[in-house]
Structure 1
């Protein structure tokens, strides 16, 4: 059983992630509207909110899968995706961005495993391409991580031979293989059958108990309450409310948050 958020060690004071005035637009459609956010090392942040509120877009801009329209992201004090040239910000080359992206692990809603590679080789390939690890070192680390997520005996299985929960655990192991400073989870259980959800929740809760820095977009409010140090409620491209999980869910801080929480309690 992993330790609840309240029992984990005190968080460090130097930010792991800093987001300032982040916006994202697609043509005339503004999806993110000035996001400001600071996350401490070891903090677990759950992001909730209605569909279309910008939750997934926020995650994708943090590690430059999507280019922000404006604003900056810093990981451990380093600008992500850009560098300063005098008073201006200049985009980094794709190779440098890939190296930075490896420090921000991303676990996708639909797993995104290579179907032609085994579970082991999906984890190996990520290390070789992103970190230039030798295949021997990458295979050793991949085997350790498959054991870590309870899939040591599935190393030679292809994604089609795995359940959804097993595929997602391989995807988590793949993200961990890059030794990220920050792990992002985008609705990690929404594509799973209900009976497979607990096995993925268990792995994420164990990572939280280890003191890893996690940002989890989720529609499962009970899970958010159990693992998070802080809950962010997004609405219309903004962080509309935030708070400690117990206070947030027992007494939502805004009318909009209250309606959202109430609707999920009825579901």
Structure 2
């Protein structure tokens, strides 16, 4: 097994070639929004991701389905380099994430460079992860200020705009403890948008919510999808996935066993593991 800091360079001669950049000579197509290639991840002896490969086109919505423990959340965390794969690589917008080429190998980037890359990849967690001591407004404004992208006045103006977009313009002065779970998750979405990411990853964004609060969060995600934001959503909400997703990916035991449009994967699945899963949840 290779280590996370010593992996074969996928762009080296004889390996998968790097994407051409937009506008490259010869009319090459723009890079995929996200490319996951041959990713393996272990936790001890447990093989959580087993050679996962996945391509997400810009401006599309991909819903990732599967049983608990199938590797869905780990896949998102690898894309954002919150988890380091032992093999394989991830590109976002054509750029290798978390590593750089060093001869024939890939070497881990420094923490500052990784943090800069994460600033271009929005992540919405299951449990909100808001700062309890900051107001809603300052929770949203914090990242643009901390990364030096905006001054405090500009970041707060952007935060007000984004809170209005998620329907919470009137709660800017509130603290997280004063909000419902659905409102806190909408603040978390606004916070993810504050860095103007190229893609947004959602890790079961409604799983921690009471059933009556799920709809308000899904409505915000639908609005993002309609606006052309590239989204990858781990979810158990099959009706929602059918409505918003361009592509369904079904993970089982750390492998992509089925992938395709919702009408194919949900209505006429070809793999027996997908059929078994859907028979239990539909």
Q: TM-score range by the shorter chain?
A: over 0.9
Structure 2: segments with no counterpart, 5+ residues? 1-28
Pair 1:65-2:82 in alignment: yes
Partner of 1:95: 112
- Determine the C-alpha separation between the residues in 1 that align with 2:88 and 2:216: 37
Matched with 1:258 is 275
What secondary structure sits across from 2:88 in the alignment?
strand
Deviations 1:156-206, CA, capped at 9 Å, x for gaps: 111110000000000000000010001000000011111111110000001
Instruction: Name the structure where helix makes up a greater proportion of residues.
Output: 1
Which of 152, 159, 171 is the aligned partner of 1:142? 159
Describe the SS at the equivalent of 1:190. Answer: coil
- Cα deviation, residue 67, structure 1: 1.1
**Moved beyond 3 Å, runs of 4+:** none
- Equivalent of residue 124 in structure 2, options 107, 114, 131: 107
For residues 29-87 of structure 1, give each alpha carbon's deviation from its aligned partner in whole angstroms, at most 9, with x where no partner exists. Answer: 11000111111100100000000000000000101111111111111111110000111
Q: Where in structure 1 are there 5+ consecutive unaligned residues?
A: 1-11
Distance 1:44 1:131, change over 3 A: farther
Q: In structure 1, what is the equivalent of residue 70 of structure 2?
A: 53
What's the counterpart of residue 38 of structure 1?
A: 55
3-state SS, counterpart of residue 241 of structure 2:
helix
Q: How far apart, in 2, do the equivalents of 1:17 and 1:101 lie?
A: 13
1:157-176 paired onto structure 2 within 5 Å:
157-176=174-193
Q: What pairs with 1:233-252 in structure 2 (closer than 5 Å)?
A: 233-252=250-269
Separation in 2, partners of 1:192, 1:26: 28
Aligned length: 254
- Whether the 8 Å contact between 1:43 and 1:229 is mirrored in structure 2 is yes
Compute the displacement of 1:14 (Å): 3.4
Distance in 1, matches of 2:266 and 2:164, equals 35
For residue 131 of structure 1, report the CA deviation from its aligned partner: 4.2
| Mapped contact 1:131–1:178 kept (Cα < 8 A) | no
C-alpha contact (below 8 Å) 1:165/1:199 kept by paired residues: yes
Cα deviation 1:186-238 (Å, max 9, x = unaligned): 00001111111111000000100101100000011111100000000000001
Larger relative contact order (C-alpha < 8 A, sep ≥ 6)? Answer: 1
Cα separation, 1, equivalents of 2:256 and 2:190: 30
Contact 1:13 1:40 in 2 (8 A): no
**1:128, distance to aligned residue in structure 2 (A):** 1.3
- 1:245 Cα shift? 0.3
